[in-house]
Chain A
């Protein structure tokens, strides 16, 4: 599997007049093409700063970020980088530019100079992909948080980016909206093969990823599959993270002598495992 984004010894400091605040220090990370990578960490762990380094919103104070071999600090390449790596932000209201949903989705392709007929096709396709096609003529302020965020996602995929960074895109929306966005993200990753970097502090979202990176005080504390990460109790304690609810339940059950597989992280897996355990015990 080849890499799409490479971080080499990347550090970033927010400089204020009094002090230099190192938000990210010495991070080495490869984002592989087609993967669903979750970046987790508590507040102030540097995960959001890391996200902004991926597509040249922030430039590393040390080290290099390479997107398909292009250095983000090369000013001439910034446009090329951003047409490959899109970003969905936290607040859905602050990233929608147009007053009609479909016009907003068209904004990116318009900036890229795509011919009108093709923009139309891309916009319809993108809106269908996120399940917002029926809402194409709505005004954004009449949509729910989850719907707005799906419009923002459509705006990025209409640009045909290879990779989408989600910078805590589910943090400001209600649980129902979060589920909608998450379903959309998984669908994009699986069906369209878009590389996803998902920054979040919700562990149940990280549980759905192929790979999880745990950030702590600006460095990578751990990296592995969700099952590996969530099995490491010491790590979770050290970095101030909690198990996803389903995994929490599974752990408590295990402590009480119920045998459940390690891969019990999502509600679906949990239900499945419980059903099997019940079958084995001859209850059902």
Chain B
């Protein structure tokens, strides 16, 4: 159901990962995602997976929660794995049946892709589980602030993100309410083919949009009443400070990337 959406769902806690500076976490997440695509053999891939496991441990996020965030990508995961399995024609043939050819390289590629997607999604989920949306957008705002020099409205973008995240649960509730209201009027939202179901959603989407605009209008008033004038002259209650913890994390990540590069040198690539 719609309530399973976990975007911006922060799990409060006081773990090592929770206490890390948002900027460090964002940069490290990106570094992780890039590095995992540099892995060409099982040793480096194993190192990356072990690191992801370590991060999960340090975050104290229940594995159950992490698995939940993986559910939406299950299809893509399966799809890419199967595609890679049979579309890789290089390498020695392991199995052949009519037009289906399975090579060892294909098998490796499929496994690599699956593991990459899994760790990529888990690590990004860890970021959102351990960082409040506010800290996340603040972090992005700080990281992007050099772009202010070329007149990118960084503050406005960050504020838009915060508000979007803030209104996700509200709008989900609203969808639930509208759907119930339309069902009560006899709308059939669950049967029929894809096109039919998409059409049936129209009476849900239109009231949702109308209400979203009304909310936006009221919110703008409320923000103005609280003296909001954009980013200029604004202070922040929570100051971001880099500490020992952040330095240690950064060093670990540098070592991790170096490790992956070195393992790539010493062991032959399998894909």
A87 to B219, CA, bound (A): 12
Residues of A within 8 A of B236 (CB): 106, 110, 116, 119
User: Which residues does B use to contact A, with CB under 8 Å?
Assistant: 8, 10, 12, 132-134, 162-163, 165-166, 169-170, 173, 215, 218-219, 221-229, 233-239
A86 to B225, CA, bound (A): 6
The 10 residue pairs across chains A and B that have the minimum distance between CB atoms: A95-B222, A106-B237, A141-B169, A94-B218, A119-B237, A108-B226, A111-B227, A99-B133, A87-B225, A103-B134
Distance (whole angstroms) from the CB of A92 to the closest CB of chain B: 10
Given A57-B221, A97-B162, A99-B162, are A159 and B237 also a contact pair (CB < 8 Å)? no
Q: List 25 A-B contacts (CB under 8 A).
A: A83-B227, A86-B225, A89-B218, A89-B221, A89-B222, A91-B215, A97-B163, A99-B10, A99-B132, A99-B134, A99-B162, A99-B165, A103-B132, A103-B134, A103-B237, A107-B223, A108-B227, A111-B227, A113-B235, A116-B236, A116-B237, A119-B235, A123-B237, A141-B169, A159-B226
Q: Which of B134, B173, B224 is close to A100, meaning CB atoms less than 8 Å apart?
A: B134
- Most chain-B Cβ atoms within 10 A of its Cβ — which of A98, A115, A140, A156? A98
B226 touches A86 (CB 8 A): yes
A111 to B159, CA, bound (A): 13
Distance (whole angstroms) from the CB of B189 to the closest CB of chain A: 24
A34 CB-CB contact with B under 8 Å: no
A79 CB-CB contact with B under 8 Å: yes
Residues of A within 8 A of B223 (CB): 97, 107
A57 touches B237 (CB 8 A): no
Residues of A within 8 A of B170 (CB): 93, 141
Distance (whole angstroms) from the CB of A137 to the closest CB of chain B: 6
A100 to B223, CA, bound (A): 16
A266 to B250, CA, bound (A): 63
A120 touches B222 (CB 8 A): no
Distance (whole angstroms) from the CB of B172 to the closest CB of chain A: 9
Q: A83-B227, A89-B222, A116-B238 are in contact. List 8 more A-B contacts (CB 8 A).
A: A55-B225, A93-B215, A95-B218, A99-B133, A111-B226, A113-B235, A141-B170, A159-B226
Residues of A within 8 A of B165 (CB): 99
Residues of B within 8 A of A99 (CB): 8, 10, 132-134, 162, 165-166
A103 to B222, CA, bound (A): 15
Residues of A within 8 A of B173 (CB): 141
A94 touches B219 (CB 8 A): yes
User: Which residues does A use to contact B, with CB under 8 Å?
Assistant: 55, 57, 79, 82-83, 86-87, 89, 91, 93-100, 102-103, 106-116, 119-120, 123, 137, 139-141, 155-156, 159
A140 to B132, CA, bound (A): 13
A280 to B134, CA, bound (A): 62
Q: Which of A79, A93, A137 is close to B227, meaning CB atoms less than 8 Å apart?
A: A79
A159 touches B163 (CB 8 A): no
A91 touches B218 (CB 8 A): yes
A123 to B237, CA, bound (A): 9
B225 touches A57 (CB 8 A): yes
B166 touches A79 (CB 8 A): no
B134 touches A82 (CB 8 A): no
A115 touches B235 (CB 8 A): yes
A140 to B133, CA, bound (A): 13
Distance (whole angstroms) from the CB of A199 to the closest CB of chain B: 14
B227 touches A82 (CB 8 A): yes
Residues of A within 8 A of B163 (CB): 97
Residues of B within 8 A of A103 (CB): 132, 134, 237-238
Distance (whole angstroms) from the CB of A176 to the closest CB of chain B: 20
B132 touches A94 (CB 8 A): no
B226 touches A156 (CB 8 A): yes
B225 touches A82 (CB 8 A): yes
Distance (whole angstroms) from the CB of A242 to the closest CB of chain B: 28
